[in-house]
Every structure is written in C-alpha cells, then in structure tokens.
C-alpha cells in the first residue's frame, strides 16, 4: 500500500468540487423539453444527458474531422476498461475510477460519432452492445479481484450479474417486440456511480489515512452496494414492464 497523501487528496477534492459547481451552473442553463418521465426515469435525467452531449460535442467534432471511425472509440473504451480493471486489482482505486469515467464518456461518444458520421447501423450497434458487456464485466472482474478476500466480493458479483441482466432483459424484450428504454440504473448511471464512488473512495481514504494511519474503502463499498441493489431493482422494473406489455399483447392477439 502506498503512503498517505492528504494534501493531494485535499487539492483534488477542491478541484473536483469547483468543477462540479461550474458544471451545475452550466447545467442550469440547459433547456430540455418536458417529458412524462415518472418514477421509472433514469437517475441522470434528460437535462444531464443533453448537457453532457454538449460537453463532448467538440471532441466528437474533432474526431469526425480527423476521420476516426466509431468502432475505434468502442474498442478504446474496451482498452480503458481493461486498464481500470488492472488499476482496481492492484489497489489503485482513484485511478480505476478515473478510467471508468473516461470509458463511460467514450461509450457515450461512439454512438454520437457513428450517428454524425453516418456509419450508424445494425453492425455498429451489435459491436457496441457486445463490447459494452465485455467492458462492464472486465471492470467488475478487477473490482472483484481487489476485494477477493472480503465479503464485498459477493456484492461485486451481484452488481456484475445484475448489470448484465439489465441489458439482457432489454435486448430479449426488444426481440419480442417490447420497447424498453425505462429503468432507474442504466449504463451511464452505473458508470457514474462506480467512477465517482471509486474516485471519492480514493480521496476519502487518503484524507482519513492521515488520521487513522490506515486506508479504507468504505465509500467504494457503499457505491458497490448501491450499484448492486439498484441494478437488481432495475432488472425487476424492466421485467414487470415487459411482462405486462407482453401480457397485454398476448390478450390482444
């Protein structure tokens, strides 16, 4: 385990809080059309999604001008997920969180780049979906490897399985003709929860370490418990919605 670095952690906390304040200020200026979201809406609402697309817009413009294919961004996301897994495995919690957040950003960008470049289609959608599942599984594998001697590994396994199930239920339902875009904890929310949970855990660990002399992963554990619980809830939400829709269509036919 590396030394305690409370000064760096304090500096990074101040920078992050300042950036969040700036982001909230520009978020307040974003205008979105009101939608009847209801309780099944994602935790990150339409406003955040529109704002983040605006933030990544210049990067997508640059990639489009440079002639970068959307598939390259998809594979870069996979590489970053492997890096994040390795970081988690070796105990680099803050760094793991940073890679998760960057990989999540690339996940948003590849679809936008494909749509803008006119290369969006079933082939790209399939590659994107499969790589996303791999990326998520690899990241959880790294987190699980870090907690391999603790009870938390069970939470990580539940989070990993539920995260895959969230996507599987949607894919299966859509195969049966039911559109499933609802769900509390969709992929961007999972990236945010794990990424910020890990970064927060790394910072708190170094701050607390200055007092107790030991590193703690309490914030990451809380984030993982939330991730596991909310992912499982999202699977149930989607199942209920899909079963109800299929029941109605069955009755109609």
Partner 1 sequence: MTPASARAIGLVVLMIGVGLRLDSSWQTLAAGTLGAGGILGLWGLLAGAFVRPTER
> Which residues in this chain contact partner 1 in the complex, by CB under 8 A?
2, 5, 8-9, 11-12, 15-16, 19, 22, 55, 58-59, 87, 91-95, 97-98, 102, 199, 202-203, 206
**Nearest to partner 1 of 57, 247 (CB atom):** 57
Smallest distance, Å, CB 197 to partner 1?
15
Smallest distance, Å, CB 213 to partner 1?
16
Smallest distance, Å, CB 62 to partner 1?
8
**Nearest to partner 1 of 11, 126 (CB atom):** 11
**Nearest to partner 1 of 56, 129 (CB atom):** 56
**Nearest to partner 1 of 139, 167 (CB atom):** 139
Smallest distance, Å, CB 99 to partner 1?
8
**Nearest to partner 1 of 93, 180 (CB atom):** 93
Smallest distance, Å, CB 187 to partner 1?
20
Q: How far apart are CA 126 and CA 245, in angstroms?
A: 25
């Amino acid at each position: 385990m590396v030394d305690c670095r409370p000064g760096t952690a304090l500096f990074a906390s101040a920078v992050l809080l300042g950036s969040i304040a700036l982001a909230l200020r520009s978020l307040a200026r974003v205008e979105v059309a009101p939608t009847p979201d209801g309780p099944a809406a994602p935790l990150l609402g339409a406003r955040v999604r529109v704002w983040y697309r605006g933030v990544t817009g210049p990067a997508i413009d640059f990639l489009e001008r440079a002639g970068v294919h959307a598939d390259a961004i998809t594979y870069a996301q996979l590489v970053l997920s492997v890096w994040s897994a390795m970081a988690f495995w070796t105990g680099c919690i803050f760094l793991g969180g940073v890679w998760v957040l960057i990989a999540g950003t690339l996940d948003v960008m590849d679809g936008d780049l494909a749509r803008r470049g006119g290369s969006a289609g079933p082939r790209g959608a399939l590659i994107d979906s499969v790589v996303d599942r791999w990326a998520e599984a690899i990241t959880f594998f790294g987190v699980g490897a870090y907690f391999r001697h603790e009870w938390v590994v069970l939470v990580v396994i539940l989070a990993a399985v539920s995260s895959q199930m969230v996507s599987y239920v949607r894919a299966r339902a859509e195969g049966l003709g039911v559109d499933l875009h609802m769900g509390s904890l969709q992929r961007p929310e999972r990236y945010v929860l794990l990424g910020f949970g890990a970064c927060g855990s790394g910072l708190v660990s170094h701050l607390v370490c200055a007092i107790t002399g030991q590193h703690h992963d309490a914030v990451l554990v809380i984030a993982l418990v939330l991730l596991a619980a909310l992912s499982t809830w999202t699977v149930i939400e989607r199942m209920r919605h899909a079963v109800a829709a299929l029941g109605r269509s069955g009755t109609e036919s």
